[in-house]
Copies of this chain bind each other. A is one copy, B any other.
């Protein structure tokens, strides 16, 4: 029997991507779709690519509307999930694509978000050590941020195998959909086409503590992360270039071997053959993460580059994958690793 699913925030990019994936998922039936300012509109007017749902009308985001579903995806601005979740029964699987329940450290939450910490839910990145177990049977799931997904997949094996010093340097390029659908001048097509620019430099990006949390857990010690996100002239995709000093004795073979071992059985994380580097185009619309590793002997650093689709593996795909695990469905049900290219 099909699982009944509602999506709150269906007019935004994350919510739209959840729906795109659910439309290809054989085990679900799409129920209520809600929005805030777009409530009352046809979905087709705001998400014209979701043709099979074009005639659906967006409802207001209320607990009444969302009740009565087996699964509720929340794709809301941060700070709004706790109130909604509180009104949904404990038997309902709530998958939060927002930030509210990702961090364990209340102090870090407050420092970066400036509000009271709502709590911590099981974390929707099954490829981390112990990650899959934590999701089985869960009824509350915090989907990771897009950057932390790309970076944690890239560096956790190196830290897990003790190959890297605990000071990571990450520069990541993101497509503009990561900045959401709210109209802001610096996100206009005229501004972003033909341009690369950084933002949140110097440690200020809200995804930094989430990366530190994940990498520190893998390393068994506190890892610092120097993180610079950049906005790239493309709609989707994250390319994360991650590096750290190699510990003494690390070899190129040992490095590669640690990654082969870490991801040998993972359906969605692929270490590319030697000599081939990830491109975000190859994962466009796909739930795959592509990785490649190198040991820069002259500089003494491990370099790992990962590519994901920020909306798919980085948000909605990770959410559906986590739902599958929580519900005991095949983990890859409805999720493609084939990208749309060129």
Contacts and interface: CB of A to CB of B under 8 A. Distances in A.
A285 interface: yes
A97 B298 CA distance: 27
Interface centre among A49, A300, A301 (most CB of B within 10 A): A49
A16 B281 CA distance: 14
Contact of A232 (B176, B181, B233): B233
Nearest to A13: B342
Interface stretch (A122-130, A134-142, A184-192): A184-192
Contact of A284 (B13, B286, B340): B340
A34 B256 CA distance: 31
Q: How large is the interface on A (under 10, 10 to 19, 20 to 34, 35 or more residues)?
A: 35 or more
A49 B339 contact: yes
A303 interface: yes
Contact of A299 (B23, B196, B224): B224
- In the A-B complex, the 4 residue pairs with the smallest Cβ-Cβ separation, listed nearest first, are A202-B294, A49-B339, A195-B281, A197-B279
Interface of A: 13, 16, 20, 23-24, 42, 44-45, 47-52, 54, 167, 169, 171, 173, 175-177, 179, 181, 183-185, 187-199, 201-203, 208, 224-228, 230, 232-237, 239, 241, 243, 245, 270, 272-273, 276-286, 288, 290, 292, 294-301, 303, 305, 307, 336-342
28 contacts: A16-B341, A49-B338, A50-B338, A51-B338, A167-B245, A173-B196, A177-B190, A177-B342, A181-B185, A190-B342, A193-B193, A193-B233, A193-B235, A195-B281, A196-B239, A196-B307, A197-B279, A197-B280, A201-B277, A201-B303, A201-B305, A202-B295, A202-B296, A202-B303, A203-B298, A224-B300, A226-B243, A228-B305
